[in-house]
């Protein structure tokens, strides 16, 4: 006789969350469009809202994905340059690249049918004995499909900087432009 409980396998601990009625309708609409269960859609949305998580020693594939997924809208003299990327990839190839816990400042605004989020993330990599700090400015926008709308959309991206002041200036520009209602 099996001691397994019937039903779906557990994904993790159950966490009850109360949503306002309008947001719950938007979540159900988003889940329906994505052809996911409501719980799966909420897990995916929560994972997308967080900065990419790295654990332990970083593999080259982690870094390649991190650097190729960024938007290149920083001015070249402030952006992460090829020399820095090669240094990090070489350390990852050698199995000596680690990352310290990140700090983040995130802001979000929400209205019926849409949500915008802006984050400023500071990441410090240790490549052997070299400390490299990268500043990440992330922006995301979700527009939910309503019964009277023709489409829903989602856009997100991030820019990487070596220069903290340039990153803060870009963050301020995005804050003024996209989070002002």
Enter the pTM of the model.
0.65
pLDDT at 116: 83
Q: Could you tell me the two tokens for 159?
A: 């820019």
Residue 89 buriedness (CB in 10 A; 0-12 / 13-18 / 19+): middle
Q: What is the dihedral of CA 82, 87, 92, 96, to 10 degrees?
A: -160
Q: Return the closest-CA partner of residue 162 out of 103, 86, 80.
A: 80
pLDDT at 67: 84
Q: Return the closest-CA partner of residue 167 out of 102, 121, 124.
A: 121
pLDDT at 167: 92
Tell me the β-bridge partners of 153: 143
CA distances in angstroms from 161 to 14, 67, 85, listed in the order given? 38, 11, 12
Q: What is the dihedral of CA 68, 105, 167, 135, to 10 degrees?
A: -50
Residues 6+ apart with CB under 8 A from 36: 44
Where the chain has pLDDT below 70, the residues are: 1-10, 47-57, 74, 111-113, 144-154, 181
- What is the C-alpha end-to-end distance of the chain, expressed in Å? 60
pLDDT at 47: 66
pLDDT at 38: 86
CA–CA dist 78, 66 (Å, integer)? 17
pLDDT at 117: 86
């Amino acid at each position: 006789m099996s001691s397994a409980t019937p039903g779906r396998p557990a994904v993790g601990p159950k966490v009850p969350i109360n949503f306002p009625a309008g947001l719950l309708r938007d979540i159900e609409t988003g889940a329906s469009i994505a052809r996911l269960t409501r719980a799966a859609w909420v897990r995916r949305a929560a994972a997308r809202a967080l900065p990419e998580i790295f654990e332990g020693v970083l593999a080259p594939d982690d870094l390649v994905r991190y650097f190729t997924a960024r938007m290149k809208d920083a001015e070249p003299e402030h952006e992460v340059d090829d020399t820095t990327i090669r240094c990090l990839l070489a350390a990852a190839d050698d199995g000596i690249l680690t990352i310290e816990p990140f700090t983040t400042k995130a802001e979000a605004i929400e209205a019926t049918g849409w949500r915008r989020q802006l984050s400023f993330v500071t990441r410090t990599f240790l490549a052997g004995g070299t400390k490299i700090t990268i500043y990440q400015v992330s922006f995301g926008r979700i527009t939910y499909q309503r019964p009277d709308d023709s489409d829903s959309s989602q856009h997100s991206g991030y820019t990487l900087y070596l220069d903290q002041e340039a990153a803060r200036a870009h963050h301020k520009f995005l804050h003024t432009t996209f989070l002002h209602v």
